[in-house]
Amino acid sequence: MRHTQSHRLGTNNATVTDKQKSVHFRFDGKEYIGFEGDTLASALLAHGVHLIGRSFKYHRPRGIFGSGSEEPNALIRVIKGATAEPNLRATQIEIYDGLIAESQNRFPNLKFDLLSVNNLFSRFFPAGFYYKTFMWPSTFWMVYEKFIRRAAGLGKISKRHLEQNRYEHKYAHCELLVVGGGAAGLQAAVIAAQTGIRVIIADEQHKFGGWLLTDNNFNIDERPAINWVHDTVKKLQSAPNVTCLNRTTVFAAMDDNFTIMAERVTEHLANQPAHLPKQRLWKIRAEKVIMATGAIERPLVFSGNDLPGIMLSSAIRSYIKRHEVLPGTRIIVFTNNDDAYFTALAIYEAGGFIRCIIDLRKNPKSQIITTIRKLGIEIKTGHAVITAHGTRHIASVDIAAYDCEIQAPISDISHMDCNLLAVSGGLNPVVHLHSQRKGKLIWDDRTLCYRPNNSSVQWVSVGSANGTFQLTKVLNEATKTTSIIISKIAKHYKISKTEETINGPKSDDSKQNWAPTPAWLINSGQPHLSEKTAFVDFQNDSTAADIKLAVREGYHSVEHLKRYTTTGMATDQGKTSNINAIGILAESLNKSVAQTGITTFRPPYTPTSLGLIAGRNIGSLFDPLRKTRMHGWHQSKGAKFENVGQWIRAWYYPQEGEEFHQAVNREVYATRHYAGLIDASTLGKIEVKGPDAGEFLNRVYTNNFANLPIGKARYGLMLKEDGMVFDDGVTTRLAEDHFFMTTTTGGAAAVLAWLEELLQTEWQDLKVYLTSVTEQWSVASISGPNSSAILEACMSEDQNITDDFPFMTMKNTFIAGIPSRIFRISFTGEMAFEINVPARYGLALWSHLMQVGKEYNLTAYGTEAMHVLRAEKGFIIVGQETDGTVTPYDLGMDWIVSKKKSDFIGKRALERESMNEPQRKQLVGLLTTDPQKVIPEGAHAVLNPNQDTPMEMLGHVSSSYYSPNLKHSIAMALLKGGFNRKGQIVYIPMLNGEQPIKAKIVDPIFFDKKGDRLHG
């Protein structure tokens, strides 16, 4: 059954909605009809639907409250195909044919919600609830958490969001960015556009015009305001130097006018064209920014003020003017200012019945009030709504004469029924972007609002965002401010001299008397009862009672109050609640609002999808993947891979039916007994060239490199200035002024950056050039007793270099016709050769070696086997045995620290007394009592496993493997005073409740201690 649009007006003057085109949509399973241009909120209100959600904490019924991004209540989930997006504001969702929307935070349904029992227990959910409850006993947190997680959180996320949605990023530059397309913004853009500079104007709504779409009964330059809007927008859209963006929210204003906006490109369409993204993120660098962001009305705080059917006065006016929807039939207006009288006028003109206007001011006078009086509408001045009553909708209010000075009702209460209450507590300029830029705010006692202190040369606020609420003044201000800001950049952009400061267009707006009366909390006379239902922040359900309790508990700073009560911390970021909360706080502290201060607004202005922020940087585009030239071979052999930084390295090569450990054991065994081949292309490689290259290396390595003969290689350890190990690798001298440095796979970029930094900032006198050549060379490293024979078999006789090829030297030759640099160096402790070929030959070299090596039992091994092989020999891996707190001495590598060199990076730091402290953690080996038991890496060792917790830690296990060659579990550990503990027993307590592992401290070289195998 389709519902009728009972609350739609019969006239045809809507500024936004087009009544010619009807649109079908579904909300909570029911089908409705709206018109093109409707928001979900206006279309639902047209059917008399107010109740749209349950509140966060107490699950109280909540209705549509505002008409734009300030909406605190109407959070909606929109379903599209297989995906859904939660927490969208119904006031901003444009309806389209086939839209499916549902309410949130209710179970099982909106009208009957089980968790609304929380409402009955509200005295158990006071301010700071989460900090006070669930704290003890601490071990129970795991139990509490499950329940809290279920009850907390807003909306349900769709796991298949990325299947149908695409977000894009776009960069743009302009001389002037105008934020907001209302009266002030449009006027500013027009003035700027005339000069020919690049202008971008962005507005959050789908139609430009801002409040002129609502307050369209004014004239600008003697024509209806709405016509002025159409003409101005047409002018801007036809100007080649202007970009007009509607449906675009500027949500972050950053340093140097870096401004970020979210453009909703296709989500308002029933059929999204495939070539367009759902949303587009604009990153704009603007020379100047004009913030014409407008103002948002704030509500009044009284008991029951959160009932559906209570709405912001300006929102009601908007629904009437923009969508021709009158959301109630018996209406009361409650205000402390003149603006609400315009709502009363709009209601009257729409044929609505106003029961009365309740004005907190004793004797307000202005043209509009006179107009309203003449219409015969009852105005009760010096009165207040004390309480609103109703179950799921407002049904009646209690009214009494009220004294704002003593803040109390001064008469008996009278009762009045109604089904719509318009509330207006004054206007808050939207100062969020100004505040994000660290702009200061000034409290204006006359207009009762915080307005920006315009002191920056980079940006300026104009119009109602600047606290200027009168239309003629707004237009003048926009004109003047824009002229001034452009004249400042005129010289640079060679703009022909700007015209004499022109006056803005004239309007007949009569809102001259903008003087609301302060009324932060309407006191019922029984505050202990009424304040618990006087809501300040609707979305987080924080009440006047919560704020007062927080004050009693000592939370006097606005920043503390905000965090303790969560006021202003929900997805609406307190757009309607912040100032009221500050007002109530100020009153409780007996301070002025100005003295109390305001919290800092931070980005984003409105909730922004994480998908939009990520853009296309997701999935395979998230981070570059680096693969070696041999990757295809590894893949074809079924290798398992592991990530090392951005590199994908072959981890192990399981044969059919093999498990991880079986494969690794086989690879390790084969390398020691026959020969193994590993893809070492990922090692960092840096060319160091120049007359001072030797001297430079001398300064960055702990050992001597200046005296390295040509053709020889040397292992080096690099420290940072604090004496801690930073990187290691083998460096070879290719010529007098030319070295070839290798680094760890993960450290390559950092090492290059560090060396560049030293050359550019510390030793500018050294003539040295650095080039990263990691990607230019493919490397296959062959180890094992058969390696020499395999290499020989790969070379023609005249190119045989295996005779007279001493350890730690380099030779140039050809392998299978491929030009190669061969280094006789070893990371396995076996006789080994590292074969470097120009990168493009990588796969050819590898395949050739594997083929020739077949009869020598050559086995490809991965990084895991490499780790086991080096651990058997006690070789360290920087980043595994070291963590930035380990010196060469701690590793037992005193032999590599030169005693002769006058200086090297880290030398003085190593001489510090604390570096020789005998209780430093030192590298030792561990042999478990049970040879099959492998200790988990990262586990901690203790001397006595039976001591009380927290136990005294001796140190941690850095590497641990099963060695198939020793048929024994081996480990390396960094233990306090480890060098002097050899032979002692340590215990490694287990997390899973198993018995502690018992191990003996030994030397970290487990295999071939003398190193005979290196030489074949």
Partner 1 sequence: MLRIKCPFCGYRNESEFSCGGEAHIARPSAAVSDKLTDSTFSEYLFMRENPKGVFLERWCHTSGCRRWFNVARDTVTHQIYEIYPAGKTPKTTIGKKAYQVNWRRKSKAEVASKYLKRTPK
Q: Cα separation of 5 and 7, whole Å?
A: 6
In the complex, least distance from residue 438 CB atom to partner 1, rounded to whole angstroms: 8
Phi-psi region of 667 (alpha: psi -120 to 50; beta: other; left: phi over 0): alpha
> Which amino acid, one-letter code, is at 440?
K
Number of residues located near partner 1, criterion CB under 8 A: 23
In the complex, least distance from residue 257 CB atom to partner 1, rounded to whole angstroms: 8
Alpha helices in 133-211 (DSSP H): 141-151, 161-164, 183-193
Binder of partner 1 out of 168, 722, 883, 1008 (CB under 8 A): 722
By CB under 8 A, residue 637 contacts partner 1: no
First-residue to last-residue Cα distance in the chain: 90
In the complex, least distance from residue 600 CB atom to partner 1, rounded to whole angstroms: 14
Q: Which residue has the tokens 């940087």?
A: 617
In the complex, least distance from residue 612 CB atom to partner 1, rounded to whole angstroms: 17
In the complex, least distance from residue 768 CB atom to partner 1, rounded to whole angstroms: 14
In the complex, least distance from residue 70 CB atom to partner 1, rounded to whole angstroms: 28
- For 595-622, give the DSSP string: HH--PPP-S-SS---HHHHHTT-SGGGS
Q: How far is CA 321 from CA 259, 346, 676, 1016, in A?
A: 32, 8, 81, 93
Q: 83, 61 in Cβ contact below 8 A? A: no
Q: Please, which residues have CB within 8 angstroms of residue 342's CB and are 6 or more apart in sequence?
A: 215, 317, 368, 511
Element (H, E) at 264: strand 258-264
By CB under 8 A, residue 111 contacts partner 1: no
Tell me whether residue 642 or residue 756 sits nearer to partner 1 (CB atom): 756
Sole window of 149-157, 251-259, 363-371, 840-848 interacting with partner 1 (rule: CB under 8 A): 251-259
Contact string 425-464 vs partner 1 (x = CB under 8 A): -------------x--------------------------
Q: Cα separation of 677 and 782, whole Å?
A: 5
Tell me whether residue 656 or residue 765 sits nearer to partner 1 (CB atom): 765
SS3 state at 561:
helix
By CB under 8 A, residue 917 contacts partner 1: no
Binder of partner 1 out of 756, 792, 883, 1008 (CB under 8 A): 756
Contact string 871-910 vs partner 1 (x = CB under 8 A): -------------------------------xx---xxx-
Tell me whether residue 44 or residue 686 sits nearer to partner 1 (CB atom): 686
DSSP designation for 202: E
Sole window of 321-329, 492-500, 674-682, 761-769 interacting with partner 1 (rule: CB under 8 A): 761-769
Q: Cα separation of 854 and 783, whole Å?
A: 14
In the complex, least distance from residue 907 CB atom to partner 1, rounded to whole angstroms: 7
Alpha helices in 28-182 (DSSP H): 40-46, 117-120, 129-132, 141-151, 161-164
Binder of partner 1 out of 79, 115, 239, 254 (CB under 8 A): 254
Contact string 831-850 vs partner 1 (x = CB under 8 A): --------------------
By CB under 8 A, residue 761 contacts partner 1: yes
In the complex, least distance from residue 219 CB atom to partner 1, rounded to whole angstroms: 43
Binder of partner 1 out of 721, 736, 775, 894 (CB under 8 A): 721
Tell me whether residue 336 or residue 774 sits nearer to partner 1 (CB atom): 774
Sole window of 141-149, 220-228, 310-318, 750-758 interacting with partner 1 (rule: CB under 8 A): 750-758
In the complex, least distance from residue 283 CB atom to partner 1, rounded to whole angstroms: 8
Tell me whether residue 634 or residue 920 sits nearer to partner 1 (CB atom): 920
Q: Cα separation of 552 and 557, whole Å?
A: 12
Q: Which residue has the tokens 């977000």?
A: 167
By CB under 8 A, residue 258 contacts partner 1: yes
Nearest residue to 288 (alpha-carbon basis) of 195, 204, 197: 197
In the complex, least distance from residue 500 CB atom to partner 1, rounded to whole angstroms: 32
Nearest residue to 50 (alpha-carbon basis) of 403, 316, 356: 316
Nearest residue to 67 (alpha-carbon basis) of 296, 344, 294, 353: 296
Tell me whether residue 322 or residue 689 sits nearer to partner 1 (CB atom): 689
Q: Which residues pair with 926 in a beta bridge?
A: 971, 1001
Binder of partner 1 out of 753, 917, 985, 1009 (CB under 8 A): 753
In the complex, least distance from residue 761 CB atom to partner 1, rounded to whole angstroms: 5
Nearest residue to 680 (alpha-carbon basis) of 836, 535, 567: 836
The 3-class SS string of 331-398 reads EEEEECCCHHHHHHHHHHHCCCEEEEEEECCCCCCCHHHHHHHHCCCCEEECEEEEEEEECCCEEEEE
Beta strands in 99-247 (DSSP E): 99-103, 167-179, 199-202, 219-220, 223-224, 242-245
Tell me whether residue 758 or residue 970 sits nearer to partner 1 (CB atom): 758
Nearest residue to 1014 (alpha-carbon basis) of 875, 894, 881: 875
Contact string 762-801 vs partner 1 (x = CB under 8 A): x-x-------------------------------------
Tell me whether residue 904 or residue 1006 sits nearer to partner 1 (CB atom): 904
By CB under 8 A, residue 913 contacts partner 1: yes
Residues 382-421 close enough to bind partner 1 by CB under 8 A: none
Tell me whether residue 22 or residue 885 sits nearer to partner 1 (CB atom): 885
Binder of partner 1 out of 132, 591, 602, 912 (CB under 8 A): 912
Residues of this chain that interact with partner 1 (CB under 8 A) are 254-256, 258, 285, 438, 721-722, 753, 756-757, 760-762, 764, 902-903, 907-909, 912-914
